[in-house]
Each structure stands twice: as structure tokens, then as C-alpha cells.
Amino acid sequence: MIIVTSGHVDHGKTALLKALTGTNTTHLPEEKKRGMTIDLGYAYLPLGESEKILGFIDVPGHEKFLSNMLAGLGGVHYAMLIVAADEGIAAQTKEHLAILRQLQFHEIMVVITKADRADSVQIDTLIHQIKQDYPFLCQAKYFITSAENGQGIEELRNYLQQLLELAETQKPFRYAIDRVFSVKGAGTVVTGTAFAGTIQVEDELSLSTGQKVRVKAIHAQNTPSEQGVAGQRLALNLNVDLDRTPIKRGDWLLQDVPPLPTTRISVQIWVETSLNESQPVHIYHAASRTTGKLSLLQSKNVAKNDRTLAEIILDSPLFLAFGDKLILRSGDAKTLVAGASVLEINSPKRHKRTEERLNFLANLALAENAAQRIAFTLQHTAVVANQIMWGEQISASQLDEALAQQGAMRYQDWCFNADYQAEKTQQILTALATYHKQHNDQLGVSKARLYRMAALNQPENLIYHLIDEMLESGNIQQTRGWLHLPEHKIRFDEEEQTRWQWVLKEFEKANGQAIWVRDMANALGTDESEMRNFMYKAGKLGYLTPIVKDRFFLTETIYAYARLIKQLAEEGKTSVNEVRDRLNFGRKLTVQLMEYFDRTGFLRRKGNDHVLRDKNIFDL
């Protein structure tokens, strides 16, 4: 467990921690020389037989080094505000207080130091002033201490020992790097705080930069260990050559390969000063810092202490997840603007202020757990499983459990709910009905064409899956590879059946060639108009296929030629000349045949080639 200590310079943070733990946290040479904590200092307090070790972050109190205060606070749930009894609330204490409030710690304890330099009346007055000026500290636990004479140290130590462990050990491992260095005889070492999860020696991790690394050794809370857990300060010895695999402050070590970092997020902010609709900000997250633009979503301006929804567009991408805490400072980095909690990563670029969008974000903010947020996320859309798992920082099994709780489903990489399936199913049925009405001479459409007609912007493999389920349930049917509604059927009467036998004989005589309507009418001594109607009806039934107006192949011949083209297209493409030579056709007929295959979606023309687009269309 890590506890952050914060307060104004010279208010006794470092002395207090030395009294508690015996460790001087001014560990850097420059810090000792200047007598102040510049970067994060750490001290550790073993808790007897429990094997539990408390870690303390002594964050810098000097304004120049304030940005370092925010590094390493991920996975930290407790804070101590340090106030000197003889000086009271100082300038930097106020900003630290504001930041502590914005970071939404589970508990903030107020420790009055240097009690030997003030009387009881002065101390009581100070505590009353703190509670009056900062109402969120009214219920806080107060401790009166002196590092000089030991007053209150034991009481504070005992209280800290009984704090509940709130670390998220069940989530995937996530670790923010704030220092990188080499140790002679060991190699590369990184230090940081584990946001979530657990890690074992010899585990393989992913750097946020993309490389795989192996953990050779672990120091947890400054003690050699076989494992590290969320909420601990960890030093990890990695099998990394820094010359080949650069690592820097702000990088992450993760259990799984991360998605690309985000540059656009939706957040809920707690406002520290009046804000207009849009302004530049500095964004602090773990050991990272960048700049960006903050835009209010619910109003054109907000007042101090308001809570509202906003969007942040980052100048440099960050690895963010739901619930991550951010600190926002003004464009000149001198003033605290707001605290923020991440609601959504990769937020949309358009329609961000619609009522539907704002309700969605409000629901995310109010949701009590990941399963509820996933349910809101899956309303009217399908979402990639890895995107959900990263955003919620959950494992594949935890995702499956959350989907089951909400009655949602997963197919391959995609998660969706019953409403989405019903909506897309209806769109597919409507598209087929419209097609039948507009093309009543066609038996149906290919799967690829139906996808483009009904759900072009949706995941292709998921829509194909829904179509397969509709075929299995009988909502749609397939005849000779063409998809159609069950009621879309055409039949020959007895007289037409006899005529068909004569037409079939003419095609057999043609030996795989196409026949024009007028040539068939002349061969059978029939009126051309009457023959045209008959042959198009045969086309509706799937017996014949018109490749251009009034020129037909037997449908089974079309399928045979499609199989031939699949063989020719070993590298995914073929050409008119290649097909012409194999079929011994004239060029005009071959072009007509290939253009027909293009229209059906079986092929797609690309320059002089015809690329195989959907090899399943003409499967029998």
C-alpha cells in the first residue's frame, strides 16, 4: 500500500516520514544539497508479523517541482496533508489541497507537524480554520505530531497500519514508469507504481512502445520479492538493452499488448476555477504530461466547484483507461484548472453535444461497475472486444462474465447486444424486400452485396454471422447461392415446363455459349416478345442468367465458369484475355461475362485485371 504525503515546503514532510519509518526521503544529491524534495521520495514502514509494508511518497512541495507530485499516484488511495502548526495553511498547501481533492482519494488524513512550536490554542484554531475553509476535510482524521519529541507519531503509525487495502489486484497488470537507470551487474531497472494487477518474476510484459520484456527480479516496497501487486512501489529489473530498446519516464509496462494511445477523450471534470467553453490546458496523468484543448460539452462556461462533462483533445497521445484521474492546469501551467476522470477514450469527432451523447456520458459517470458501462457502450453499436477490455482494464474472462450479466453477446472480435442484432436483422430484411420489389426478375443477391445494401458501415464478419443465423432460423433463404426472402418464389406452370424442355435442348446444342432471346425465338418458331417474357421468368427461377439485356447463359454454366475463374485466380485475380483463351469465346462475350461477374460482386475490376471479391457467391 502506498500513502502520498503532501504539503508546503519546510512544513516537515520529510522529517515526519523519517520519524515514522527511519528513512530520509531526500535521496537525490541535488535534493540533499538544496534541502528540499525535488522528485518523488519514498520511505517504507514494515508492519511487524503481517509482512505488510506501507510505502510513503514524499511529493515535492516547491512550486517549481509541482509537476513531479503527480507522478506515481496511480493505484494510490490514501493521502496525508502535512501542515506545520506554527505556519498554518501556506500558499503551496492550498494548491496541494486542491490537487488532493481533485484526485478523489479514498481518504485524506491531516497531519499537524511541528506541534512543539505551537500551543494547543494555536493548533485548535488551525484545525478549525482548515475545516471551515475546506469542508471536504471536516470528517477527516486529524493527528497532532512532532518529529522532534515524538508526539503523536505512534498514534499516527497505528492508524496507518489498520487502513484497508483497496488495490485492484484482479485487473490486468498496469505499471507507470517514472524512472529508468542501469545497475552494474543487474542491467536495466525501472521504478514506478503498479496501477493494477500482479506481476511475478520471469513474467513477460509489453512495453507501451510495443516491445516485449521479461522481468528478471522485483523489489516491492523496497524489499526483494517474487511478486509485485497493485498499489505497491515496484522496482523491476528487466532483460532490456537500453541502447536497443529505449525506455523513458511516462512509458508503461502492461500485461497485454495495448491498443494505440488516444488523443481524444470524454471526461467528467471538477472545476477549480471559472472556465469558458474552450481553452488550452496542461494535462498530467501518472508520470506523463502533455498539452491539449479542453472543450465544455454542456454549457459555454462553468463556475468553480461545478461538475460537468467535457472533451479533451491531446497534443500527444496517452495510454488512458476508464476512471483514470487527470489534473488539468492552465495553458501557462501556473494555475490549477480542474480535476478530471476519464469516461471514454477515442471519443467521436462529431455530434458530441447531442442529447443522446450527453445522456450516454452521464450514464457512464453514474454506472456502478464495468458490466453496466459495457451495457451502455453496446447500445445501438458493436464494439471490438479488445477496445472494451482495455478501456475497462478487464481480462477476457471478466469481459465474458460482464456480457453474460447484461445479456450481451460476443462473436469473434465483436461484442453486441440483442437490440443491435434485432436492428441489423430488420435492416437486412428491409433491404431484401426493397431489392425484390425493384428487381423482381432476379432470384436474390449475394451475401457480400446484401452486406453493402443493408449494413455497409458495420463489421463485415459480424453481419455475415447475423445473415448465417437468419438462414438457419429461416428468416431468409438461399437458392443456388442467392439470398432472398422465403416468400420470394417463382414457378413454371405445366405448359411452361414443356417449353422449358425445348429451351434446355437449345442450350445443350449451344455447348456452353450464351443465346440471345431473338435467336431462341427463331429456333423454336416463337414470338420474340413471348420468348423474352419466358426466358426472363426462367431467369427469376434461377434456370437462366442474363449477363446483358436479352442474352442468357444456363445458370449451371455460369457456376461452372465461376469455378474455372476461381482456379485461374490463384493469386486473387485474372483477366479478360486469360478467361477468353480458356473458354474459347469471342472477346465481346467474354467482356460481357466478366462485367456480369463484377456486377454480382463475385469479381471487382482493377485496371486490366478482375480481382476475386467474394469466392463464396457461386458455391453450390
495 phi, psi to nearest 5 deg: -65, -40
Report yes or no on 362 lying in a domain. no
Residue after which a domain boundary falls, among 453, 484, 515: 484
Residues 19 and 142 in one domain: yes
Residues 537 and 604 in one domain: yes
Query: What would the mean pLDDT of 464-487 be, rounded to a whole number?
Result: 92
Which grid coordinates are listed for 309? 462533462
Q: Which of 382, 363, 366, 373 is nearest to 406 (CA)?
A: 373
Q: Which of 480, 482, 485 is nearest to 425 (CA)?
A: 485
Each residue's pLDDT tens digit, 84-94: 999 888 877 78
Least confident of 97-101, 328-332, 583-587: 97-101
Report yes or no on 268 lying in a domain. no
Tell me if 460 sits within 8 A of 451, measured CB to CB: yes
Residues 500 and 577 in one domain: yes
If you search the block for the grid coordinates 433463404, which residue do you land on? 477
Q: What is the pLDDT of residue 41?
A: 53
Residue 302 pairs with which residues in a beta bridge?
275
Band of pLDDT at residue 54, cut at 50, 70 and 90: confident
Which grid coordinates are listed for 389? 477490455
Which grid coordinates are listed for 517? 432471346
- All residues at 6 or more sequence positions from 12 whose CB lies less than 8 Å from its CB, including other chains: 82, 84, 113, 114, 147
Query: Angle 555-568/576-583 helices, nearest 10 degrees?
Result: 120
Band of pLDDT at residue 74, cut at 50, 70 and 90: low
Q: What is the pLDDT of residue 335?
A: 87
Each residue's pLDDT tens digit, 514-525: 999 999 999 999
Sheet holding 383-384, edge to edge: 383-384, 414-416, 409-411
Band of pLDDT at residue 441, cut at 50, 70 and 90: low
| CATH number of domain containing 24 | 3.40.50.300
Query: What would the mean pLDDT of 377-406 be, rounded to a whole number?
Result: 94
User: Can you give the length of the chain in residues?
Assistant: 620
Strands 307-318 and 301-302: unpaired
125 phi, psi to nearest 5 deg: -65, -40
Q: What is the pLDDT of residue 541?
A: 79
75 alpha-carbon distance from chain centroid: 20
Query: What would the mean pLDDT of 314-337 be, rounded to a whole number?
Result: 92
pLDDT greater than 50 at residue 36: no
Q: Which of 69, 54, 49, 60 is nearest to 21 (CA)?
A: 54
Q: What is the pLDDT of residue 91?
A: 76
Report yes or no on 265 lying in a domain. no
Each residue's pLDDT tens digit, 341-367: 999 999 999 899 999 999 999 999 999
CA distance 407 to 393: 20
pLDDT greater than 90 at residue 243: no
Query: What would the mean pLDDT of 64-85 be, rounded to a whole number?
Result: 70
pLDDT greater than 70 at residue 538: yes
Bigger pLDDT: 48 vs 433: 433
pLDDT greater than 60 at residue 320: yes
Which grid coordinates are listed for 498? 414443356
Tell me if 92 sits within 8 A of 63, measured CB to CB: yes
CA distance 113 to 92: 16
Alpha helices (H) along 316-395: 355-366, 370-377, 385-392
Q: Which of 253, 320, 311, 252 is nearest to 285 (CA)?
A: 320
Q: Which of 62, 85, 27, 409 is nearest to 233 (CA)?
A: 27
Residues 539 and 565 in one domain: yes
Report yes or no on 81 lying in a domain. yes
Cα pseudo-dihedral 163, 165, 166, 172, rounded to 10? 160
Query: What would the mean pLDDT of 6-15 be, rounded to a whole number?
Result: 79
Q: Which of 544, 612, 558, 560 is nearest to 589 (CA)?
A: 558
CA distance 26 to 225: 25
Q: Which of 133, 113, 137 is nearest to 123 (CA)?
A: 113
Q: What is the pLDDT of residue 593?
A: 95
| CATH number of domain containing 552 | 1.10.10.10
Q: How many CB atoms lie within 10 A of CB 314?
A: 20
Residues 65 and 108 in one domain: yes
CA distance 118 to 151: 13
Q: What is the pLDDT of residue 301?
A: 92
CA distance 352 to 562: 48
Residues 44 and 154 in one domain: yes
CA distance 41 to 128: 30
Q: What is the pLDDT of residue 344?
A: 96
Query: What would the mean pLDDT of 416-444 be, rounded to a whole number?
Result: 91
Cβ neighbourhood burial of 410 (10 Å; 0-12, 13-18, 19+): middle
Q: Which of 215, 191, 204 is nearest to 256 (CA)?
A: 204
pLDDT greater than 70 at residue 566: yes
Q: How many domains is the chain built from?
A: 4
Angle made by CA atoms 242, 245, 246, in degrees to the nearest 5: 65
Residues 102 and 17 in one domain: yes
Band of pLDDT at residue 42, cut at 50, 70 and 90: low
CA-to-CA separations, 403 to 197, 370, 407, in angstroms, rounded: 21, 10, 6
Give the per-residue SS3 of 204-224: EEEECCCCEEEEEEEEECCEE
Least confident of 63-67, 390-394, 430-434: 63-67
Which grid coordinates are listed for 500? 422449358
Report yes or no on 314 lying in a domain. no
Band of pLDDT at residue 38, cut at 50, 70 and 90: very low
Which grid coordinates are listed for 267? 471526461
Helical (H) or strand (E) element with 461: helix 460-473
Angle made by CA atoms 42, 44, 49, in degrees to the nearest 5: 165
Residues 115 and 16 in one domain: yes
| CATH number of domain containing 224 | 2.40.30.10
Bigger pLDDT: 580 vs 23: 580
Query: What would the mean pLDDT of 100-106 be, rounded to a whole number?
Result: 84
Residues 142 and 8 in one domain: yes
Which range marks the domain in which residue 527 is found? 494-612
Query: What would the mean pLDDT of 299-325 be, rounded to a whole number?
Result: 95
The whole-chain average pLDDT of the chain stands at: 88
CA-to-CA separations, 393 to 95, 198, 268, 322, 520, in angstroms, rounded: 31, 13, 19, 8, 68
Residues 424 and 499 in one domain: no
Report yes or no on 154 lying in a domain. yes
Report yes or no on 347 lying in a domain. no
Residue after which a domain boundary falls, among 93, 126, 161: 161
Residues 149 and 33 in one domain: yes
Which range has highest mean pLDDT (164-178, 442-456, 511-525, 557-571)?
A: 511-525
Residue after which a domain boundary falls, among 484, 503, 524: 484
Report yes or no on 292 lying in a domain. no
Cα end-to-end span (Å), the chain: 65
Residues 232 and 142 in one domain: no
User: Long-range pairs for 307-310 at CB < 8 Å and ≥24 separation?
Assistant: 307/268, 307/269, 307/270, 307/271, 308/268, 308/269, 308/271, 309/266, 309/267, 309/268, 309/269, 309/343, 309/358, 309/361, 309/362, 309/365, 310/266, 310/267, 310/268, 310/269, 310/340
Q: How many CB atoms lie within 10 A of CB 379?
A: 12
